[in-house]
Structure 1
């Protein structure tokens, strides 16, 4: 029991240090602030507005921005700010959920294709090639006609989005497998599972975390685009759906806030996720960290590249020696 508590506290400390390192990074701090504001607005949206999405007031439709309606109203008299706050929920759910699904599926298939046999690699690569050939927009239109729910939208984005992640992870795993310390682990008798979880997964983790953050941003834009062409879920409010409604009446009635508000909301959220992704890359990727340190020390690009190469060579040799000693002392791991 004490051992379990110790592990939990150790994991909590690691997570705390990691979050602190993100906040210390300028890009990470900016991204967390922007995304945090949007998330809080989505969670506490009903408390921030006195209106609801079903508060129709057609007599007050297309009202200009005022103290009563800060962004005005649509043609049905529904407060636009209320729509923005409620729409943040679906946009965030679709973006974050799809980003996680794409990263998980792509990473799993990418690792399997690179490390677990030629047959699995051939099958997965052929599936990737087929999906990359199929036109994306017609495929989304066909699947959206089957069901226009946002769950179907998540499924569509996951189906067409995992290929890039799988290819990226596969390339990274193949390069890692040629490292000296991987070969030393294999010669020392390490099993595939041990090498996978002890060496390969930590080496690609920074790519997966960064890919998740950037994928969230990309799929939020994709959701807005799909809703804009009329393929979104009509039963829920999202920023893309607001843009669809705005294009019909906003320009003729001069309600620029109706168009700008969801556009700015999408931009802020996407920009925030991208900044978090760039910050995670700087924090988790040792190569970028060493390059940044060398730039701060005044090293030229040539000197910085040589320093990175020297440190990588020394790291792999040291790790191979340590791994060999570990197996000689404790026997093979499974």
Structure 2
């Protein structure tokens, strides 16, 4: 919480750094609270960012608005923004391996602060930085504001269009540019971007134009994206969620468990009426575990069937179902680094 964070130099530095970045970006104007004003709340979110090797990269304190306290028609209207599809990410990675293209990753700092808000939004002063009788009149789309994603994506779309990039028809977060037979692809997931191309000059140009528009950080070769580790060597590439899996095993106390040979018992016949219904606390634990395991299926198709079975009981899980989920965790202990292997082929033609 804020009180504990204020007593820790690492977090106080992170909060001060965030406030300075927001001030530099002219995110708000501090003014007296207007009469009959509808104030949106604010809070701090603390996260520790890790390097691909698991070491701590930095402590991040992010100030977010409590968007749930906004009122439709008063301080927000449209909110929709597209999100990159996992199948698009897989296709881009597969294409890059097949063609031998390099993949790089870009990150936009304070992504939602890159365009002015159209609506008037007044927010409470940040916790720990309060000023009596004062509030923040937002000028930019702060994290947490309902329309933030839409405002940011529209700004990016206009920038990409201005520089000759076209949106994909099947996935609007994919931007494509073709020049003299060469192709450059940019895929965006909120503030993370993947860029791949057979045109090194266009990649350099793209980085330059984005840096001119946004506070851009070049993360180099693609190694870690959305919790997925990417290891490339020559003509092969592996996607896995090893760290995610180990964190899940640690969280559930399964790091020292005996590995299971299969995700489910052979010949299982799980039904909705098997066992005793879980209490509300255990039910919540079951639902959270299955949700986390669903995300793991992105690189672990070997547990997909088992997770599909366990998902059927989300509304009323029993102790038998929870035991079955525990078995899946024990199966993951067998090989936490297992994932998807991409190998360069001679062609992309389908053979039957």
Give the TM-score normalised by structure 2. 0.21
Counting helix residues as a fraction of each chain, which structure ranks higher? 1
Higher relative contact order (CA 8 A, sep 6+): 1
Structure possessing the higher radius of gyration over alpha carbons: 1
